[in-house]
Amino acid sequence: MNPRLLASLAPIALLACSPAQAPSRPPLEGAKIGGPFTLTDQNGNAFSDQALAGKYRIMYFGYTFCPDVCPVDVQNLAAGLKLVEKSNPDLAARIVPVFVTIDPERDTPAVLNQFTSAFHPRMVGLTGSPEAIAKVAKEFAIFYQRGEGTAGGYLMNHSRQAYLMSPDGKPLALLPQEGPPPAIADEITRWAE
């Protein structure tokens, strides 16, 4: 190969091998995800997005009767938040984990209370009418539908994403809810101030 050509390609090759620069702006900045809502919390009280004003929030949609995925995701998200609590308690105090059911038929406030308290003491569980849940899920770009019936009831098919939202309710980033918890904690601290 021509030595002059090789020399001219060297800077490009070095650039290609360099680690990628971390983005300076949140990856979901400007996305049309989220919006106002009023649902019912795990204590049976009306709960709106206004109760979260000024707080970062982790928004996860799932259902308590999920046999495997939702509990693992929520456990990982809670463990990631607990790592932030240890490393940066002031920041962690400004983050609210929120679990929104996509199965309001079975996920009553009492069921949500038992579920959320098993993962994090500050986790908010939200339910509502099927229409209210459908509206919120649509605003957060969550797909869900009731699956086939089984001997133990039915399963819910749904998309899986955990959003980190800003204190004014705007999307910042997707959290890697599949874990491990340190990766979740890193992503939270990267985008939350």
Q: Give which of 17, 46, 52 is closest to 34, Cα–Cα.
A: 52
**Percent of the chain scoring above 70 in pLDDT:** 87
The average pLDDT across 91-119 equals 98
Residue 120 known to bind ligand: no
- Whether the CB-CB separation of 164 and 192 falls below 8 Å is answered with yes
Mean pLDDT computed over every residue of the chain: 89
Residue 2 has a pLDDT of: 42
pLDDT attached to residue 187: 97
Domain 33-191, what fold? Answer: Glutaredoxin (3.40.30)
Name the 3-class secondary structure at 184: helix
- Quick check: 82 pLDDT over 90? yes
Q: Average pLDDT of 96-120?
A: 98
Collapse the DSSP code of 107 into the 3-class scheme (helix H, G, I; strand E, B; otherwise coil) and give the result: coil
pLDDT at 21: 52
- Residue 70, marked binder: yes
What are the tokens at 112?
């949500």
Residues 57-69: tens digit of each pLDDT: 999 999 999 988 9
| CA–CA separation, 171 and 69 (whole Å) | 23
Query: Of the candidates 163, 166, 162, which has an alpha carbon nearest to the alpha carbon of residue 55?
Result: 166
pLDDT in tens, 21-53: 556 899 999 999 999 999 999 999 999 999 999
Q: Which residue, among 151, 142, 60, 62, has the nearest Cα to 98 in the 3D structure? A: 60
Domain extents in the chain: 33-191
* Angle CA 115–157–187, to nearest 5: 65
CB of 92 within 8 A of CB of 80? no
Longest dimension (CA), the chain: 75
Question: Quick one: pLDDT band at residue 157, thresholds 50, 70, 90?
Answer: very high
Give the pLDDT score at 193: 81
Q: Is 158 annotated as a binding residue?
A: yes
